[in-house]
Amino acid sequence: MNFKHLYYFWVTARAGGIMRAGEQLHTTPQTLSGQIKLLEDWLGRKLFRKNGRQLELTEHGRLALGYADQIFSLGQELETALRQSRGAQKRLDFRVGVTDSVSKSLAYRLLEPALSMDQPVKLIASEGSFDDLLAALALHRLDLVIADEPMPRRVSVKAFSHALGRSAMSFFCAPGLKSRVKGPFPGCLDGLPMLVPGASSAVRRQLEGWFARHQLAPVVVGELDDAALMKAFGREGQGVFMAPTVLEEETCTQFDVSVIGRTDELVEEFYAVSVERRISHPCVLAITDAARGQLFSV
């Protein structure tokens, strides 16, 4: 493969068009189009298609762009590593995936110890579904996945779940909704609008059983995979929502909400999933030690 052709394709895809890419590369649109055409001919696939006056990526183009991102990112890392002065301490890249359902505040508190080590660390974090992040872990594109459930048995990935801790759950509401909260908890939830985690969340499955045991029928107004989005809706008074009790004070302050009840019958667990059975990565060690010793008790 001619990597110059791939580079021209990559810049064009990222720039959003031939004209803008040509300006960045200081070359003519005709030259740029010709180089991309050579790459398409070599691959035997069309990478762009016209949509009116715009260019858009084909399905094969999106696939190629993902690989090109990794190739040229690694090239930049190589250049940085080789240009470091001999006496400088090497910065450790730490690639982490956080599942959608994990609170971003909790994710920060879990990951922060890795940034406080003596060795300089560059944190490269991404968010996604558990399955997608496990696939990236299997391909060694991630060092660690933070999740609210252990790795499912149905997934054929050689990885190991390390328990970080667990937290009871608290229920919150905005001031505008507080006047509708009548009676003691948890009975006060009956008939109230409620925002619940998406069906893929581990705590959602517990929640449905908990509602049934307590004969509660809140009005579910939203199912949200993203914990931050659920809190944003909750802050605006759209419904009661849950968050780990360990984040209770922080949630009240950040979102201007109050606690209407808490229960240890609902428990959210957190795991560090890595390809190591015995943890040796210094960042993962720092995270697990801090979580078990300070943030949670397991």
The pTM of this model reads 0.66
Quick check: bond before 186 cis, omega within 30?
yes
Q: Is 215 left (phi over 0), alpha (psi -120 to 50) or beta?
A: left
| Residue 111 pLDDT level (bands cut at 50, 70, 90) | very high
Domains in the chain: ranges and CATH: 3-83 (1.10.10.10), 92-165+270-295 (3.40.190.10), 167-265 (3.40.190.10)
Question: Rounded to an integer, what distance in angstroms lies between the CA atom of residue 124 and that of residue 116?
Answer: 15
| Residue 298 pLDDT level (bands cut at 50, 70, 90) | very low
Question: Per-residue pLDDT tens for 77-104?
Answer: 777 667 665 555 677 889 999 998 888 8
Planar angle of CA 203, 208, 209, nearest 5 degrees: 100
Question: Per-residue pLDDT tens for 193-217?
Answer: 999 998 878 899 899 999 999 999 9
